[in-house]
């Protein structure tokens, strides 16, 4: 409760002091315990090979056991990439109606951990729903049968509705215990990220049927929503589980400065908007603080921003020196950042840059040992990273 009181008090100060803040000097990143991470050396020994194009703003990909893959397109289509690398011209039927507005649409897709076993065919989708003036993030699931989704049911609805088509979050991962983590953006509203009575600006954890996990950190608190796993997030759009430690890592967008890589743990407050390295788009600092008691510092502070989206650990055999490293997509800088982990699986040794000619929306490990990326554009592409 003391941490919550500190957060609320700091929020009041933030709201009433922001207009007096000076204009940003973006050539001088904000000082704090986590130094800014700027340009990184170029990675060598790799090349990008196009697998397929013709995707309309693709957002996520999930491989099926038969070698095919499902790819979401933001306007609302769920596409099938055949095992031979060709794109099925017919989208999957039965996909829920989505709000295709600005950053909203059909976003992430993941398979149930037991997909393909004992007739389990559950596919999970996260998406924006509603209207431009009243919308929210949803999670639904349906059974993939032939070329359509059946028995579609909405499992989770972020509360409350928000206005505008910004900051939906929407990345999902299944934990080893079978529960589902999902990121929920704060809707470009800032303050709700610290409000435990809203899902906005949170990571939530639910069972595979949509009910809250009963061991969530705030499950017993009457002033908090039961699904909340962590809070103080802005707009996390990358999330991945370490293949050895099972720890959860997430990337999230800052405003001007302050994109973050975080180690997401239950009950933690990650600071937004009370502690941040970011500036408002119109100039002043978001907050006078880059750290506060009871709030967790990021592992990486990307300033200038990379516009982080998509995150994957490399577990293949095509690049042995990449094994166990983390790869973060960058929209604004048209890059993927390789985050080099030490042999202790925790210490970050440095970063390298994989440069592209496209905005990178998603980064995924393929079942064939290669790393794949999706590009964010009207004629989006799936690219495979191969040794040069």
Q: Do 192 and 186 touch, CB atoms closer than 8 A?
A: yes
Strand partners of residue 382: 52, 374
The secondary structure of 298-355 as a DSSP string is: PSEEESS---EEEEEE---SSSGGGTT-EEEEETTTTEEEEEEE-TTSS-EEEEEEEE
Is 280 among the catalytic positions? no
Residue 8 main-chain phi, psi, to 5 deg: -70, -40
CB neighbour list of residue 298: distance below 8 Å, 6 or more residues apart: 34, 260, 261, 262, 270
CB neighbour list of residue 348: distance below 8 Å, 6 or more residues apart: 299, 300, 339, 340, 341, 342
**Catalytic, out of 167, 199, 233, 289:** 167
Residue 355 main-chain phi, psi, to 5 deg: -90, 140
- Catalytically active residues, by annotation: 167
């Amino acid at each position: 409760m003391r941490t919550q009181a500190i957060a609320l008090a700091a929020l009041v100060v933030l709201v009433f002091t922001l207009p007096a803040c000076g204009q940003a000097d973006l050539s001088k990143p904000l000082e704090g315990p986590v130094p800014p991470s700027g340009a990184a050396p170029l990675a060598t020994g790799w090349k990008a090979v196009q697998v397929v194009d013709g995707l309309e703003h693709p957002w996520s990909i999930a491989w099926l056991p038969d070698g095919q893959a499902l790819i979401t397109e933001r306007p609302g289509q769920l596409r099938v990439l055949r095992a031979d690398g060709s794109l099925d011209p017919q989208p999957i039927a039965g996909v829920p109606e989505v709000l295709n507005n600005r950053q909203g649409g059909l976003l992430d897709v993941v398979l149930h951990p037991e997909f393909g076993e004992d007739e389990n065919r559950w596919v999970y989708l996260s998406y924006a729903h509603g209207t431009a003036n009243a919308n929210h993030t949803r999670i639904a699931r349906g059974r993939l049968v032939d070329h359509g989704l059946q028995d579609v049911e909405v499992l989770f609805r972020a509360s409350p509705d928000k206005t505008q088509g910004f900051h939906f979050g929407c990345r999902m991962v299944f934990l080893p215990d079978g529960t589902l983590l999902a990121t929920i953006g704060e809707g470009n509203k800032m303050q709700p990220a610290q409000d435990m009575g809203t899902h906005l600006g949170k990571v939530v954890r639910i069972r595979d049927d949509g009910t809250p996990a009963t061991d969530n950190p705030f499950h017993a608190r009457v002033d908090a929503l039961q699904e909340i796993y962590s809070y103080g997030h802005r707009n996390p759009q990358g999330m991945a589980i370490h293949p050895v430690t099972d720890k959860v890592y997430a990337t999230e967008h800052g405003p001007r400065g302050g994109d973050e890589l975080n180690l997401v743990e239950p009950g933690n407050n990650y600071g937004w908007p009370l502690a941040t390295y970011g500036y408002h788009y119109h100039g002043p600092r978001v907050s006078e603080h880059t750290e506060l008691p009871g709030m967790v510092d990021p592992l990486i502070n990307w300033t200038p921003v990379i516009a982080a989206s998509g995150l994957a650990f490399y577990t293949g055999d095509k690049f042995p020196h990449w094994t166990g490293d983390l790869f973060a997509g960058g929209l604004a800088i048209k890059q993927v950042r390789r985050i080099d982990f030490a042999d202790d699986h925790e210490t970050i040794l440095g970063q390298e840059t994989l440069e592209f000619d496209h905005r990178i929306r998603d980064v995924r490990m393929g079942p064939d040992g290669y790393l794949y990326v999706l590009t964010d554009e009207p004629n989006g592409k799936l690219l495979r990273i191969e040794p040069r």
